[in-house]
Amino acid sequence: MATISAADVMKLRSLTNAPMMDCKAALEKAGGDFEKAIQILREQSKVISSKKAERETAEGRIGIYLDPQRGVAGIVEVRCETAPVVKSDPFIQLAEDLARHVALTPQLPETVEEFLQQPFVDGGGRTVRERLEETIGIIRENMRIARFGRLSGGTVGGYLHFNGSVGTILLVEGTPKNPEVLKDIAMHITAMQPVALSRQDVPAEIMEREKQIARTQAEQTGKPPQIVEKIAEGKLRTWLSENVLLEQKFFKDDSKTIGQLAQEQGVTLRRYIRLKVGELTS
């Protein structure tokens, strides 16, 4: 049996982040061969992942990645079992790495399963699944990718809340006079939760629901039908101004709307993706 030094164990740990005892055992099993030891740890991670796959993943974190030079941004929601893990360095790094993969992979996956099967974007010979399983092996807790998205083809910005629970990526056409404004708009979206970018983008079922609510409220005033219709229209306009991004008052300066702010900066807002851990919609 090859002699395994403490330095060898530390070196393998620095390469894999696996627990010290696991690194020592893997090196002993591999006869001191680092490549074989890394593969052994990866295989162990698969076993760990398999054992924990049935556990509920009720907690999680959003990861975002921005590449302004390439004009691309990625966002991902990664789930885990317990709240302390959300703040751990390996889990934070995992969320960031997965968001980077979403942003930079040549072929954006259509499903989570396709995502997991892709070669991980760092070029290290791993799949995304193996990258996920490495962190599962370190933390010993079930994890899964819940949702992801990418924006490209323009100028990108983004914002991630300090605790990682919610984040937004944003795509605009043009270059803003102040680059920080894109982060501000992404922060606004994160906080204010618009239902759509513009009136035209509001889903038909939501628009119809709000029209009916406005009409019902207006009818309760007991006014004549023609007045009721005007009241309903006014209530709908108010709802739109509060819930459509371009019409919302900018949270840092309510003297202007987001649409006016974008116009001042010389950009046109095209798309955004907002993800919050556990939310069914973005």
- How many C-beta atoms surround the C-beta of residue 68 within 10 A? 12
C-alpha–C-alpha distance, residues 237 and 221, integer Å: 18
C-alpha–C-alpha distance, residues 256 and 259, integer Å: 8
CATH architecture of 59-198+250-276: 2-Layer Sandwich (3.30)
Q: What is the pLDDT along the chain (282 residues), one digit of tens a residue?
A: 567 888 888 877 777 777 888 888 889 888 888 888 887 887 776 665 656 555 666 799 999 999 999 999 999 999 999 999 999 999 999 999 999 999 999 999 999 999 999 999 988 889 999 999 999 988 989 899 999 999 999 999 999 999 999 999 999 999 999 989 999 999 999 999 999 999 999 999 988 888 888 888 888 888 888 888 888 889 889 999 999 999 999 999 999 999 999 999 999 999 999 999 988 654
- How many C-beta atoms surround the C-beta of residue 201 within 10 A? 13
Burial-class residue 70 by CB neighbours within 10 Å (0-12, 13-18, 19+). Answer: exposed
Q: If one looks up domain 203-243 in CATH, what number appears?
A: 1.10.286
Query: Which residues contact residue 26 at a Cβ distance below 8 angstroms, ignoring those fewer than 6 apart?
Result: 12, 18, 37, 38, 40, 41, 44
Written as one string, the DSSP assignment of 52-68 is HTTS---EEEEEEEEET
CATH architecture of 6-52: Orthogonal Bundle (1.10)
Entry pTM? 0.79
Domain range summary for the chain, segments of one domain joined by +: 6-52, 59-198+250-276, 203-243
Fold agreement (59-198+250-276, 203-243) = no
8 A C-beta contact, residue 223 and residue 229 = no
